[in-house]
Amino acid sequence: MDLAILNQKLTGAFSGMAYSTAEACGQATVEVPADRVKDVLKFLRDDADLQFDMLLDVTAVDYPARTPRFEIVYILVSTERRHRIRIKTRIEDGRALQTVSDLWRSADWGERECFDMFGIRFDGHPNLKRILNPDNFYGYPLRKTYPLRGERDPAFLDYKETEPA
């Protein structure tokens, strides 16, 4: 995806929104504020020149030392225009994002996985429950603070105290 075109589009449609772009190995990334991310995604899907009609993945990254702590990554592909882009946003633990499962149905399971593994909530999601771990699972295992061996780990007690589910 050509960042020049994208910049032009984004400043046209979202004047006044603070965002940043980056490019690595020919792959474009845009970071937007958490409260605007759904608008941006909807725009990217509906714009006639961009047509991002496929959401490849929704996932998260945990940076325990940063505030806000989590980075949510949306990977979009346009099967019409043959280009792809990553949209990132940052969110604090305990805050929720708007669901995009009404824009792309593939977001349904991606957001459930995000919730299951990182404990990130998505407002308006039709069925936000665990998808990979058992229903009675405690904690969010892809957080860097989660002890590797789970409940068998001596560090689990600490985890349970500091990060209630």
Summarize as ranges the residues that interact with other proteins (CB under 8 A). 132-134, 141, 146-153
Closest approach of other proteins to the CB of residue 138, in Å: 10
Closest approach of other proteins to the CB of residue 18, in Å: 39
For other proteins, the closer CB: 66 or 144:
144
User: Cα dist. 6→30, 43, 86, 138, 161 in Å?
Assistant: 9, 11, 12, 42, 45
SS3 54: strand
Q: To 5 degrees, how large is the angle CA 19–CA 25–CA 26?
A: 65
For other proteins, the closer CB: 129 or 152:
152
For other proteins, the closer CB: 2 or 151:
151
For other proteins, the closer CB: 43 or 137:
137
Closest approach of other proteins to the CB of residue 115, in Å: 17
Q: What's at 48, amino acid-wise?
A: A
| Residues contacting 107, CB < 8 A, separation 6+ | 55, 58, 99, 100, 101
Closest approach of other proteins to the CB of residue 147, in Å: 8
